[in-house]
Structure formats: C-alpha cells, structure tokens
Amino acid sequence: MMICVPQVLSKNEVADFRLLMDGHAWEDGRSTAGAQSADVKSNEQLPPDSELARKLGNRIISALTSSPRFVSAAVPLQIFPPLFNRYAAAGGHHFGIHVDNAVRGDRLSGLRIRTDLSVTLFLSEPSEYDGGELVVEDLYGSHEVKLPAGDLVLYPSSSLHMVTPVTRGMRVASFFWLQSMIRDAHARSMIFDLDTAIQELVQRLGRNDPETVKLTGIYHNLIRYWAEV
C-alpha cells in the first residue's frame, strides 16, 4: 500500500526549512547506507546527528502526529528521526534500486525500530528539477512518485525502490522510517480502508449515527486485536 499525504508542511514552512538547510554543510549520503545500498547511492545529506537535522526532524514529527491521514495509514508506534538529502544534477546524483534495512538504530537516542514503512517528504517543487522520481515496485508494477513540496508518500519498507538521476536542478527531501503498531501490511491496509470509510460516513451521517458508532467500535477492536505496543 502506497499512500500520499498532502500538505504535511505549508509552503512557508518548506521555505523556512530550505533557507536553514541551504546555510548548512552537507556530507556524502553514503554514510547512512547499508552495504548494498552504498554501492548504488549517490547524493548528499545533512549530517544526521547535527543540531539542525534534529530540530527540523522534530518539526516534521510534530506535523505528522497532527495529520489524521498519516496516523490512519501508518498507525505509528515509533518514528525514526527524519533525515534530509539532496540530489543535484551537477553531481549526477541518483539512488539505484535497493531495499531498506529491516532494522534501523539511532546513535544519539538509542532508538531501534523495525522498518515497516518508509517515508519521503518532498521539499522541492516538481518544477525545480528534472528526473529525481521515486520509483517504488510492488506486485502491480512500478510506480513513479514526484509530489509538490510539503507532501509526503508512505510505502512499505520491504519494497524495492530507487530515485532516478536528477538531470536539472536540485531535489531536496526528508526521508525516514517508522514501526507501525500493526505489523502485518494487509491488516494495516484494511484498517486504513475501514477508517477512511468511517470518516466518509461521519461527513454524511454524523459521528453519533448508530451504524457509524458500531463501525467505529469494530475499528478500535481490530486495532486492539492486531496492535503491538
């Protein structure tokens, strides 16, 4: 299941992020890659342990927990501190086909998570660069993603994926992982579909409609049945 969440950050927030990031030193993106990923990764990133990366990451996490669509799709238990990267045409930057590590550890906090879902939050407008599409493969084929600045995409970390070469301009994004309370991807997809249907019923019938209340109870009981906390 791949889910897009619009306007996690406002255009003004994106502009503020970019201003702060442009004034900071960047490093080789391979420093956070696994052995296989490092062979196909060519980009730059903000130093993950830097004060700026942590500050901006906390702002993203705060925005995410205020996003009903994100919470509904992810049912997050733990969110890894967001990282930040950029792909420049001048450097021929790209990230070849790979799969994310199953477990990620954060050196500063000691947090360790199972990577159920991967997240890319776009910080460049599509008009700012050519190429740089996120390509995610699943059972139904390959899907290209290139969203407006401030929007994010959420997809299974088990998916093979890549970032195509940037041929003009600069692609800037935040990327990170999360561990969901609902480990099984199929169960998580059903939970999301049920919650979406309930919210549509709330709009039409009201929150206190008897059938809406009954379905809401089923939703919470399914989470209670499947959740790992």
To the question of whether residue 161 is assigned a binding role by annotation, the answer is: yes
pLDDT in tens, 43-78: 999 999 999 999 999 999 999 999 999 999 999 999
Per DSSP, the residues of 187-203 read HHHHHHHHHHHHHHHHH
Domain boundaries, the chain: 3-180, 185-226
Angle at alpha carbon of residue 115, lines to 47 and 81, rounded to 5°? 30
Q: If one looks up domain 3-180 in CATH, what number appears?
A: 2.60.120.620
Provide the terminal-to-terminal Cα distance of the chain, rounded to the nearest Å.
22
Q: Is 98 annotated as a binding residue?
A: yes
100 annotated to bind ligand:
yes
Q: What local confidence, expressed as pLDDT, does residue 34 receive?
A: 65
Q: Does 143 show up as a binding residue in the annotation? A: no
The answer to whether the pTM exceeds 0.85 is yes
Task: Please list, residue by residue across 69-79, b when 16 or more beta carbons sit within 10 angstroms of its beta carbon and e when fewer do.
Answer: bbebbbbbbbb
